[in-house]
Amino acid sequence: MRRENQSSVSEFLLLGLPIQPEHQSVFFALFLGMYLITVLGNLLILLLIRLDSRLHTLMYFFLSHLAFSDVSFSSVTVPKMLVNMQTQDQSIPYAGCIAQMYFFLLFVCLDNFLLAVMAYDRYVAICQPLHYTTIMRGGLCVLLVAGSWFFSCVHALLHTLLLSRLSFCADNNIPHFFCEPAALLKLACSDISLNELVIFTEGGVFAFLALSAILGSYIHIGATILRVPSIKRIRKALSTCGSHLFVVFLYYGTVAMIYFFPSTNNSKVKDTIASLMHTVVTPMLNPFIYSLRNRDMKLALGILYKKGIIFAK
């Protein structure tokens, strides 16, 4: 088969964030701190779930995969952005750009599926509590997570292969701080109609299925609570679903700002801020949302802290 990618571009230039040179050091320290909080916070969640046997439940099984996905998702874009800010070298090799786009698509899709799986888990826990252990069997949960990883890999690989066949002739300036798929498509000088078709069909189907699962789960949860409303039932539902629901709003809110609202020349700053929220802020907030609002996580953290003091002595 004839190789279709006749790209003359060996590297791309990431134009980065619209920050004045005199403010670069301040924003570098800010984003470095946020990235370190993201990594340490999510790794702490993984450690607590691993060490505390009381957290060996299905909810925390899903949460551990979400925490790993958040660390990986943030690590795909933020370190390169920090290096570019520090060295003022905006270049990224063609292969590195394609690889960054692949992992970005992988972990965006994985977060999407994991949030849907966690919503279904909350639905079963609240709406069918007596049958929870029967429905949410260990084998089913492993299958749901494995399926999320598999379809996310397929999704990312499909779009990466389709983009790699395109030609990039002259302009190699990406007005972003990472190799964002839509920005790359705009630079292509060959036909992108197939790419757009796959984005709207395959990507739309995956997003619709995940969002439908989340909305359907919470509609059933709301209907179950309102059937026999009481303060106790509402508080229990909020304690069970509050953290997950807040993360869902954060995730889909930033995605909607980036991809669903019309983009103009005057909205580039808005798109950049939304992308920063999606790739930097949301993964950083997830550990606080799940840890500070969760009694079991706080208890496990306290036990780990006490053990650390004992071992230090």
- Sorted by where each starts, the structural domains of the chain and their CATH numbers stand as 11-312 (1.20.1070.10)
312/299 Cα distance (integer angstroms): 20
Per-residue model confidence (pLDDT) at position 260: 62
What integer pLDDT is reported at residue 167 of this predicted model?
A: 86
In the prediction, which pLDDT does 2 show? 40
Identify the pLDDT of residue 281: 86
Rg of the chain over CA atoms, in angstroms? 21
Q: Helices (DSSP H) in 88-175: which residue ranges?
A: 94-127, 132-135, 138-164
* pLDDT given at position 259: 62
DSSP character at residue 166: S
pTM for the structure as a whole: 0.86
- Burial state string for 212-251 with b = 16 or more CB within 10 A and e = fewer than 16: ebbeebbebbeeebeeeeeeeeeeebeebbebbbebbebb
Structure tokens at 173: 């300036």
Mean pLDDT by 10 residues, the chain (313 residues): 52 83 87 93 88 82 91 93 86 92 94 92 86 86 94 95 86 86 87 90 88 90 80 71 78 71 56 79 82 70 66 47
12-52, pLDDT tens digit by residue? 888 878 788 788 889 899 999 999 999 998 998 888 888 88
Task: Give the pLDDT confidence score for residue 149 in this predicted structure.
Answer: 96
Which residues neighbour 178 within 8 Å (Cβ) at sequence distance 6 or greater?
14, 76, 77, 80, 81, 100, 104, 275, 279
Check if the beta carbon of residue 99 is closer than 8 Å to that of residue 165.
no
The residues near 48 (Cβ < 8 Å, ≥ 6 apart) are: 55, 297, 300, 301, 304
pLDDT of residue 154: 94
Look up residue 172 and give its DSSP letter: -
51 contact partners, CB below 8 Å, separation of at least 6: 300, 304
- Nearest residue to 180 (alpha-carbon basis) of 289, 89, 103: 103
Residue count of the chain: 313
